[in-house]
Structure 1
């Protein structure tokens, strides 16, 4: 039986053979060209929301700069014919260290949104982290994943009933873990969105988890009832063309038929209710303890950047930590996520798994994070760029590239498995 071709060489062969016939990859392999090709397909609003970061975007710059401060140091004359990318995470045997980080409002770049991403996650067997701000209900996404492992990312708003309802739905749909995100207690100061005067949620985008939730429906019903008691049509502002377009968008995205929704108060009430309950500025460690008691699933605490917070989450029974600064989208001027990783790994027991994201663009980035203490790495914007260019196939292309590059890079590093990656294979510039 012939030996299986490693994924790196297999991908190279596919691309170079296609090149003999004059065909180039539809989805660029180079990370900068991937970015440029994707943003050129997006509307101004989508570019602002997806590609932008907080304030002067210095945190995003810090993320990338931190990777450039670490250099790989390969070892020679080490047989690397057989290589393994496998990891174990929270009892799951995974073929690679990659996870799909949670990203909301994917409908801004492709109409199939999270469904398309789920199909690619299933084909590549890379776990998807389903966002609370997904455009599609978690049950539909889980159906597309069809048994592949996946996580559910929770934004915990002011309604405990809605938050715990979403946890129960994720459990019932087959999630492997709950990822509670702590760094988005409110939206960051995102200057591109502010200059555009555009918030996707205000247009009914990215609220598919809410409009399909029974507890959220109760809040919407209460708002509609209250509005009916208080409405004075004489005080209503005259609608503008932009407002009409916004109402049509809300109605199109709300469950049910468009014409019926246009005559209904529920689509607008749902958006107003979401905007009212999203921010949760009083979320405390005691709430994380409540979540730990409320679910039998592993709980991953996301947004950890300070070693003391890592220790606190560990003390409360977190099953894993997710080191992240939200890709620079929340706090301008924040420390690089990679620098936080080094401190967090030093602060907690070596047995506590750490997932890392914020700035991963290539396999070299992933190797650096793994060598500095991460057990798995989350890929964010790159897969969304693939979605923008070529839908589900585009997501799969980006993931296939990352897998292939990781396989080749490991071999060139002189190692055969990820557990051989340590800081002694890095040099800090």
Structure 2
């Protein structure tokens, strides 16, 4: 009964927001395409995944995510698996094995409560560091790709000039919030892509999707798990579950945040079903949530809309879309990724304010503004510096080593060193007060 009441409340909010701000929700739903499309295209061109299956299953996942969670939670590629698969030209079976392995581990972690415990013990400065580091990583990756463009090459429709135009347009929506940025960019980019694809006679054809099983062989399991699955596991746990739940709480404080367990089960079920049919392994990433929020999405209706769009396109056109999507200007996609990175990195600003989850629950005295509104907790300068240092260490190691797990461990060790130092100082103070005596 409680579940049905919650579902009705979520559905009512989704519908209400979609009616009141239709263009914003649609624009926001397209915000994560800058990450989704390049990876999906690269894997499809290599024959590693089926674009049809990827669009169909990720579309269904988008719809269910929007209906049951009620927030613009993204469905985006597992980036570590995708990077290894592209570099090593993985087969269907190898990438499926990697995705299924990660999903099975996440399912066990979620079902046993281990994932919830893990999320609760991670210090907030480390979580913030993972979020900011992920945002900076997006900016660096997108900036590197855009810098490879020439001023008028590789095409009249995809070059640095268009990247500058897209960036100036992005800055303009800081003043004119009604502009559906992602929707406008998608329409213009799609028009450019159609012209380019038509010249190459590479436009989509009507070919209905027929599901085909992709069952990994014995060697596929070994290669997929060892080469890609193990590396993806910490990334999925930290960025796609823990960080995304915290980010949802930061960005949408008035909306009920999904639990760690429910998000973990969602990631697990998506891949335990779709990977057997040649679909790309997917997850819920904090970068995608930041992107969709940045461009206007505030409810689950945005990702429901995107899911229906993916489902229809994947079912009726599928793999024939590869040529058209390859012609989409990266100058536009890259700027969208940069915008998502900036939005994600901005959450670090709330580290030492009541926007941080641990300070909301703490007993620190708060500063009140002139109107009696709470501004933030009173932290000593030493406390602020320690929290900031832990966050920066996490960011530095994550970005420097291009690995979430390395950043997480570095931040955790830094936090632990501060905690140990504080503990030793307290013992020394108690000893000086005579509350602790050493016996000979």
| Range class of TM-score, shorter chain | under 0.3
Between Structure 1 and Structure 2, which shows a larger proportion of helix residues?
2
Between Structure 1 and Structure 2, which shows a larger proportion of strand residues?
1
Give the TM-score normalised by structure 1. 0.25
Higher relative contact order structure (alpha carbons within 8 Å, sequence separation ≥ 6): 2
Give the TM-score normalised by structure 2. 0.24
